[in-house]
A = this chain, B = another copy of it.
Amino acid sequence: MSRSTRLLDLIQLLRTYRRPVSGSALAQRMGVSIRTLYRDIATLQAQGADIQGAPGFGYVLKPGFLMPPMMLSEEEIEALVLGARWVAARADDELKDAARNALAKIAAVLPADLRHEMETNSLLVYNTRNLRLGTVDFPAIREAIRQGMKIDIDYADVNGQPTTRRIWPFALAYFEETRVLAAWCELRNDFRHFRTDRFTTMTLTGIRIPRRRDRLLAEWRRAHNVTQDM
């Protein structure tokens, strides 16, 4: 048996256990040495499997590695597909792929009739307006927001010279034709909004933002009286 099929089998085997299993038991079931079993576990963990092991205990696969079956109503499917299509039409390529992949994964765990509903959904999105986005690397921005990392940008203000600022990005707002990065600005020591088409450069610093993203977002909402109820 090749290693790749063995890894798939190992996941399935782990899924059948509710209580911890020892590595040697798994190794015996898979017909490999204990050393190889440890390597297989490590590989699966590297791929995102939440396998917990403790000395003297054994292994358990925490749920959340594979998608469980789901039920959605027809209208919920319509909403998801429509939203994903807007993302595909309007966001960057990486997010577009992510939307496609998300729908495909959801479709795979829906019952057949709903999957058909999803595939033949006919709510379409067309955009006629041009986006003015600048040359910014949006995946990098989203990454920085997710990871809570400071970034440096050169920003051309409306009335003034371009300035270099270190900011703490926490939200990205999608408007019809532009996108605006909401951040805490170290230069101004306050919240500031940056239109992405006015960036000239952007550098990830790798420095952690000392505040939690959701806290910054909540504070910013209070400060600007902005609400978005989803």
Residues of A at under 8 Å CB distance from B? 2-5, 7-8, 12, 15-16, 18, 43, 46-48, 50, 62-80, 82-91, 94-96, 98-112, 114-115, 117, 119-120, 122-129, 142, 145-146, 170-176, 213-214, 217, 228-230
The dominant DSSP class at the A interface is helix
- Asked if A95 and B75 sit within 8 Å, CB to CB, the answer is yes
Q: Report how far A75 CA is from B87 CA in the complex, Å.
A: 12
In order of increasing CB-CB distance, the 10 nearest A-B pairs are: A83-B83, A64-B111, A122-B171, A4-B4, A76-B102, A79-B99, A75-B98, A79-B98, A69-B105, A15-B104
Q: How close is A86's CB to chain B, nearest CB, in angstroms?
A: 5
- Asked if A8 and B47 sit within 8 Å, CB to CB, the answer is yes
Q: Could you give 5 example pairs across A and B, Cβ below 8 Å? A: A8-B47, A65-B70, A66-B69, A69-B108, A106-B106
Q: How close is A117's CB to chain B, nearest CB, in angstroms?
A: 8
Q: Which residues of B contact A170 (CB under 8 A)?
A: 122
Q: A105 with B71: in contact, given A86-B174, A95-B79, A98-B79 (CB under 8 Å)?
A: yes
- Asked if B128 and A175 sit within 8 Å, CB to CB, the answer is yes
Most B CB contacts (10 A, CB to CB) among A123, A128, A175 go to: A123
Q: Report how far A80 CA is from B102 CA in the complex, Å.
A: 7
- Asked if A87 and B98 sit within 8 Å, CB to CB, the answer is no
- Asked if B68 and A109 sit within 8 Å, CB to CB, the answer is yes
Q: A62 with B172: in contact, given A83-B80, A91-B82 (CB under 8 Å)?
A: no
- Asked if A67 and B65 sit within 8 Å, CB to CB, the answer is no
Q: A122 with B66: in contact, given A5-B47, A95-B78 (CB under 8 Å)?
A: no
Q: Report how far A222 CA is from B82 CA in the complex, Å.
A: 21
Most B CB contacts (10 A, CB to CB) among A43, A73, A95, A104 go to: A104
Q: A175 with B126: in contact, given A79-B98, A102-B79 (CB under 8 Å)?
A: yes
